[in-house]
Amino acid sequence: MHIDPSLLWTWNRTIDRAPYVLTGILLMLVKFGLDWTLATVVFDRPWSPLNYLIWPDYAALRVLDLSMADRLFMLTLLLISLPFMWTGVMLTMHRLRAVQLPVALVVLFFVPLINLFLFFVLSLTPTRPTVVNEALPLPDQHWLQRLRAKHGHVTRGGVWKSAVVSLTISVPLTVGAVIHGANVLESYGFGLFVGAPFFLGLVSVVLFGWSQPQDFGDCMRLAFAATFLAGLAILLSAIEGVICLLMAAPIALCMTFFGALVGYSIQERSWPSQQTPTLCLGLLLLLPSLMAAEAANEPRAVLREVRTAVVIAASPERVWPHVIAFPPLAEPKDWLFRTGIAYPQRAEIRGFGADAVRYCVFSTGTFVEPIEVWEPPELLRFRVTDQPPPMHEWSPYDIYPAHLEQYLISHRGQFWLEALPDGRTRLEGTTWYTHRMWPAPYWNRWSDYIIHRIHLRVLEHIRTLAEAS
C-alpha cells in the first residue's frame, strides 16, 4: 500500500479505502498527541478526545474576549490544526470522488460528530471504477441476495411501500438511540442532538432507495416524515415533553437534512444494494458508542452571565426595599411562560444584612439565595444554594426528564442600583449560570433568552412598585 504525497496538492485524484482509513487514523492519533502534550505540559490544562466533539464551544466562539492566556492557548491549537485540516479536507475530497459521491459533501468535515459519520461511511463504501459494465452486476453474498429480494418483493419499487419499510426500521432505531442517550446515559450532547437526527436522515433515505433509487424530493419528504414520527414516538413514550422537542426541532431538522443529503447521494448510485445492510449496522453501532464516550468525558461547563437593565423614575432609596423582597406578581401574559417555563411569582427576605437569606418563589418551586453582599441602596449580591426545575413539561404523562435536574444551574445573582443625575435609577439584574447541553452555541441562545425574560418580569415589577410608591 502506497500513499502518494502529491494527493495533498492536487484536486482531481482518488484514494482507496485502505490508505484513506490508515492515514485518517494515524492523523487522529498524531493530532491528539500534539494537542494533549500542548494542553497538559505547556498550558497545564485537561484534554480528552471529547474536545473534538464539543466544538465550537464558548471559548472558541469568544476567543477575542478571553484572557491573554486562554487566547494564546486557543490560537496555538488553531495554528497546529491548520495542516491537519488541509490534509483531512484533501483526502476526504479524493475519497468522495473515489466512491462517486458529491465532492461538496466535504463541508461535513467541519461539523463535529458528523465528520466521524462521514469518515465511517467513506471507510465502508468500496471504491467505484470510472467505467462500470452495467450488464455485469456486482456479486452479492447469499444472505444479502435474499434480503434484497425480500425487500423488492415487499415494496415492488413503490414509493409508499418503500417509505413504510424505511420508516418501520429507521424510526425505532433512532428512538432507541435517543432513549439510550437521554434516559440511560443522561447525556444531552452532540450524540443526541446532532448524531441521532443525522443518522435518521441518512439511514431512512438509504433504506428508502435500496431496491430502486428515489427522487430527491421524495427522499427529503421521507426524512422529515421520519423526524416527525420519531418526535411523536418520543413524546408518546414519555421520554420528553412538547416544549423541549420544539426547542430541539431546528437543529434536529437541519441535521436530518444533511443526513438525508448524504443518504440520497448514496442511494442514487448503483452499488448501495451490496453495502446498505453493512452501512446501516455500522452506523447503528457507532451512534450509541459515541454517546457513551461523550457521557464518560463530559467537559466542564462554562460559567455564563446574563445582564438586564431598566430605568426607574424613582431614587435608589425608594427602589431598594422592592429589590430585596416584593409581593406576588400577576399571572404572566408572556407566551414564553405559558409554555411551562418557570417564572418568578414573589420574593421574600428572612434576616437583615449579609446574614439574610432571600427566597425567590417560582412557578416550579423556590430559589434559596443566601446574601453575600448587602450594600443599600446600591448592591445586593447572593449565591444560589437550591433551585427548582426550570420548567413543567407539556406531556400526556407526568414525566421528569433528566435534563430538568442539574443541567441548567444558577450559581449566583445580583441587583445593582445606579443613581442617575435626574433622580432616576438604573436597576440592573445579573445571573451567573451554567448548563450541560450541547452544542452549547445553540442552547446558549435559548437559555440566555429565557433568563433575560425572567429578569424583565422581575425588574418591570420592581419598577411598577417603586414608581407607584
CATH number at residue 445: 3.30.530.20
**Stretch 341-346: mean pLDDT:** 94
219 and 253 part of one domain: yes
439 and 316 part of one domain: yes
Residue closest to 208 by CA, chosen among 284, 149, 267: 267
**Stretch 429-441: mean pLDDT:** 90
**Stretch 110-137: mean pLDDT:** 70
Select from 300, 327, 356 the last residue of a domain. 300
Q: Whole domain around residue 41: which residue ranges?
A: 1-128
Residue 146 covered by a domain? no
User: Residue 417 pLDDT more than 60?
Assistant: yes
Q: What is the pLDDT of residue 114?
A: 80
Q: What is the pLDDT of residue 269?
A: 67
330 and 377 part of one domain: yes
- Residue with more model confidence, 444 or 211: 444
Q: What is the pLDDT of residue 57?
A: 55
**Stretch 449-458: mean pLDDT:** 96
Q: What is the mean pLDDT of the chain?
A: 85
For residue 137, whether the previous peptide bond is cis, meaning omega lies within 30 degrees of 0, is no
**Stretch 331-356: mean pLDDT:** 91
pLDDT classification of 265: cutoffs 50, 70, 90 = confident
SS3 215: coil
User: Residue 356 pLDDT more than 90?
Assistant: yes
pLDDT classification of 467: cutoffs 50, 70, 90 = very high
User: Residue 297 pLDDT more than 80?
Assistant: no
SS3 383: strand
**Cβ atoms 366, 410 nearer than 8 A:** no
SS3 366: strand
Residue closest to 416 by CA, chosen among 459, 387, 383: 459
309 and 360 part of one domain: yes
Question: Cα separation of 200 and 197, whole Å?
Answer: 5
Q: What is the DSSP string of 261-280?
A: HHHHHHHTSS-HHHHHHHHH
For residue 56, whether the previous peptide bond is cis, meaning omega lies within 30 degrees of 0, is yes
Q: What is the pLDDT of residue 412?
A: 96
The crossing angle, in degrees rounded to 10, of helices 196-208 and 242-267 is: 40
Residue closest to 200 by CA, chosen among 142, 143, 126, 255: 255
Residue 252 covered by a domain? yes
User: Residue 320 pLDDT more than 70?
Assistant: yes
Residue with cell 498524531: 30
293 and 314 part of one domain: no
Q: What is the pLDDT of residue 132?
A: 44
Q: What is the pLDDT of residue 65?
A: 58
Q: What is the pLDDT of residue 130?
A: 55
The model's pLDDT over 381-410, given as tens digits with 9 standing for 90+, comes to 999 999 999 999 888 888 888 888 888 999
Burial of 217 (C-beta count, 10 Å sphere; 0-12/13-18/19+) = exposed
Residue 147 covered by a domain? no
The crossing angle, in degrees rounded to 10, of helices 242-267 and 272-296 is: 140
- Residue with more model confidence, 216 or 295: 216
- If residue 375 lies in a helix (H) or strand (E), which one and from where to where? strand 365-375
pLDDT classification of 116: cutoffs 50, 70, 90 = confident
Domain tally, the chain = 3
Burial of 281 (C-beta count, 10 Å sphere; 0-12/13-18/19+) = exposed
Residue 136 covered by a domain? no
459 and 324 part of one domain: yes
Residue 206 covered by a domain? yes
- Residue with more model confidence, 4 or 64: 4
**Cβ atoms 260, 219 nearer than 8 A:** yes
User: Residue 468 pLDDT more than 60?
Assistant: yes
Q: What is the pLDDT of residue 274?
A: 61
**Stretch 323-345: mean pLDDT:** 91
**Cβ atoms 231, 290 nearer than 8 A:** no
Question: Cα separation of 469 and 456, whole Å?
Answer: 20
Q: What is the pLDDT of residue 151?
A: 63
317 and 458 part of one domain: yes
269 and 248 part of one domain: yes
Q: What is the pLDDT of residue 133?
A: 43
Residue 449 covered by a domain? yes
CA torsion, points 334, 339, 340, 342, in degrees to nearest 10?
-30
**Spatial CB neighbours of 33, under 8 Å, sequence gap ≥ 6:** none
Provide the edge-to-edge strand list for the sheet that holds 425-435: 304-312, 425-435, 408-419, 379-383, 365-375, 357-362, 344-350
Q: What percent of the chain has pLDDT over 90?
A: 40
Select from 276, 300, 324 the last residue of a domain. 300
Residue 318 covered by a domain? yes
SS3 334: coil
Q: Kindly provide the residue ranges of all beta strands, DSSP E only, lying in 146-273, ordered along the sequence.
A: none
Q: Kindly provide the residue ranges of all beta strands, DSSP E only, lying in 221-325, ordered along the sequence.
A: 304-312
Residue 395 covered by a domain? yes
Select from 251, 284, 300 the last residue of a domain. 300
4 and 120 part of one domain: yes
166 and 279 part of one domain: yes
The model's pLDDT over 128-187, given as tens digits with 9 standing for 90+, comes to 765 444 444 444 455 555 666 666 667 766 788 889 989 999 999 999 999 988 888 888
319 and 460 part of one domain: yes
pLDDT classification of 378: cutoffs 50, 70, 90 = very high
184 and 289 part of one domain: yes
